[in-house]
Amino acid sequence: FLFNKGALDFAGGTVVHINAGVAALVGALVIGPRIGYRRESMPPHSLTMTMVGASLLFVGWFGFNVGSAMEAGATAGLAFFNTLVATCAATVAWTMVEAVFKGKPSMLGAVSGAIAGLVVITPACGLVGPMGAIVMGFLGGLVCYWGVNGLKRMLGVDDSLDVFGVHGVGGILGALLTGVFASPELGGAGVWDYVANAPGTFDMGGQMIAQAWGVGTAVLWSGVVSYVAFKLIDMSIGLRVSPDDEREGLDITTHGESAYHS
């Protein structure tokens, strides 16, 4: 995900994550917090389903990271390996910092760390070396932990699924770090000059500026368009159910059925 002439086909994933993260943040701000947020206990819905879903994501992630190479070659192999080791590093980082600050690691934390690692390495999976992928994954676990547990409190937003803290923050971090670890001096693949059809000269400073421009454009675009979309929906059919319906639960009030027997 290099935002200059040296681009490879690993861009889509990070654009998706930044867009989704910013849209989730805007949506949470427009809708407002849930009733009882930060006053009542709101545990995860089902840790079993969370683990199953994350496992499916982990396997499927190889499909679009590796598949972005468009062929079974060296780049695809590098993308596969980098995706694996970065995710593992992020999981270790998240559980370590969680153990330090909360006394013990958790399965939810491990799952969150794994997803953070997948997000961070997506733009770089075919452009950085294995050690760069490990460092990116580890930093992703640490920074996304802060995004979920620190930044969210600072913003005072009820992002119930931590989309911005993991996908938004992770996508931004991954895009920026790609501009660092893609450097051939750090084991990366560098950039390809499509005009000369030859390897281009890698300028880390210039590349970081290009990456920052790309990130800023994605954040601004998603933020403005999401705000307009949410406001239009709110003015037409409404974004939020009544307080009574919210307390009873949308399974019953909206869908007319319950996921569990009470």
19 vs 137: CA distance, rounded Å: 20
Asked, for residue 144, whether it belongs to a domain, the answer is yes
Quickly state the pLDDT bin for 227 (edges 50, 70, 90): very high
Asked, for residue 130, whether it belongs to a domain, the answer is yes
Q: Give the residue with greater pLDDT, 259 vs 220.
A: 220
**CA 163 vs CA 58, 70, 144, 157, 229: distances in Å:** 17, 29, 10, 11, 18
Asked, for residue 66, whether it belongs to a domain, the answer is yes
Asked, for residue 96, whether it belongs to a domain, the answer is yes
- If one counts every other C-beta atom within 10 angstroms of the C-beta of residue 167, the result is 27
Quickly state the pLDDT bin for 262 (edges 50, 70, 90): low
pLDDT at 189: 85
193 vs 11: CA distance, rounded Å: 17
Q: Which CATH number characterizes residue 240's domain? A: 1.10.3430.10
126 has a pLDDT exceeding 80: yes
Average pLDDT over residues 193-214: 84
* Digit-coded pLDDT (tens) for 158-181: 999 999 999 999 999 999 999 999
Domain count, the chain: 1
CA atoms within 13 A on the CB side of 34: 17
pLDDT at 9: 38
Asked, for residue 6, whether it belongs to a domain, the answer is no
166 vs 17: CA distance, rounded Å: 9
- In the DSSP assignment, the letter for residue 199 is E
pTM comes to 0.90
Asked, for residue 3, whether it belongs to a domain, the answer is no
Asked, for residue 184, whether it belongs to a domain, the answer is yes
Residue 242, domain extent:
12-253
Asked, for residue 259, whether it belongs to a domain, the answer is no
1 has a pLDDT exceeding 60: no
Backbone angles phi, psi at 94, to 5 degrees: -65, -45
11 has a pLDDT exceeding 60: no
137 has a pLDDT exceeding 90: yes
pLDDT at 49: 93
